[in-house]
Amino acid sequence: MKFIENRKKWYIFSAVIIIVGLISMMIQGLNYGIDFTGGNMLDLSFNETTNVDDLRSYLDTQGFRYNIQEAGENKYILRTEELDETASIDLIDNLTEEFGEVTVDRNEKVSASIGEELTRNALLALGIAAILMIIYITIRFEFFFGIAAVLALVHDVLITVGIFSILQIEVNSAFVAALLTIIGYSINDSIVIFDRIRENLNKRMKRTDEQIVDLSINQTLFRSISTSVAVIIVLLSLFLVGGSTIHDFVLAMLIGTVFGGYSSIFIASPLWIDMAGHKKIRK
């Protein structure tokens, strides 16, 4: 398969998805969750047996935004939009009426500044990771391999964030964790292909660098696809039966894994060819 000859098609395909996502972010923005907008955080203990699905079904009728996660047997952490004292008391009374006695172990107001801190730390982590990856890949391969790999990661992140904006799926701390996981997965697949390119370059084949990249991608294609498919099968299983608590996290992972596998094959190595400008015949 001729990956390099058709690279403009891959670039256009990616550019269209990224641009649509960016337009969505400019027009309707992201659907920020409680982690970013601030609100109340309640630690709740139920005397009677409850489950998160029943609680979620009930809370959906209360008319406010929330996140809920299990914190032990009949214990849950409930994050809501900001509630005043009266609204908090009404919520607990309603939960008690519906599910039996409820003990509030903690009820704290969470400032939106936590969201700002989370965003700042996530961007800082991404920046540090990008610099370290460029340094590592430059030492192991060469500088333009590092730049191509990081651009492929930015491609994966932009597409995932863009799709979440288009669909207005809630963005929370789990989404940030999913993005960081996607970066780790995507860079691993790109490194495997780069390693094969380096091996083939060192063999001094009588081929252009474009031909060597095509050969290297084809040699690792089965491995790349089979690895991605295995991960996608696991994520699909979690998405379907893993429960609503991890639904958005798994969805972000699914989108990132699909486009991470795609960018490793169709974007990273072609970018290296374009930036390095290697076209000479190796003797």
What's the pLDDT tens digit per position in 208-222?
Answer: 888 889 999 999 999
Extract the tokens encoding 220: 């690792």
pLDDT at 283: 47
What's the pLDDT tens digit per position in 116-171?
Answer: 777 777 778 878 888 888 898 888 888 898 899 999 999 999 999 999 999 988 88
Contact in structure between 78 and 41 (CB atoms under 8 Å) = yes
Give me the mean pLDDT over the 234-263 stretch: 87
Q: What are phi and psi of 245, to 5 degrees?
A: -60, -40
pLDDT tier at 50, thresholds 50, 70, 90: confident
Extract the tokens encoding 242: 């893993």
* Distance in angstroms (rounded) separating the CA atoms of residues 43 and 247: 22
Answer whether 0.85 is exceeded by the pTM: no
pLDDT tier at 203, thresholds 50, 70, 90: confident
One-letter identity of residue 54: D
pLDDT at 53: 82
Mean of all residue pLDDT scores within the chain: 85
Give me the mean pLDDT over the 257-278 stretch: 87
pLDDT at 66: 81
Give me the mean pLDDT over the 62-86 stretch: 81
Q: Which long-range contacts (CB under 8 A, 24 or more apart) does 104-107 make?
A: 104/42, 104/43, 104/44, 105/43, 105/44, 105/45, 105/75, 106/41, 106/42, 106/43, 107/40, 107/41, 107/42, 107/43
Q: Which long-range contacts (CB under 8 A, 24 or more apart) does 16-24 make?
A: 17/159, 17/162, 18/155, 18/158, 18/159, 18/162, 20/162, 20/166, 21/158, 21/159, 21/161, 21/162, 21/163, 21/165, 21/166, 22/158, 22/162, 24/162, 24/165, 24/166
* Distance in angstroms (rounded) separating the CA atoms of residues 30 and 179: 15
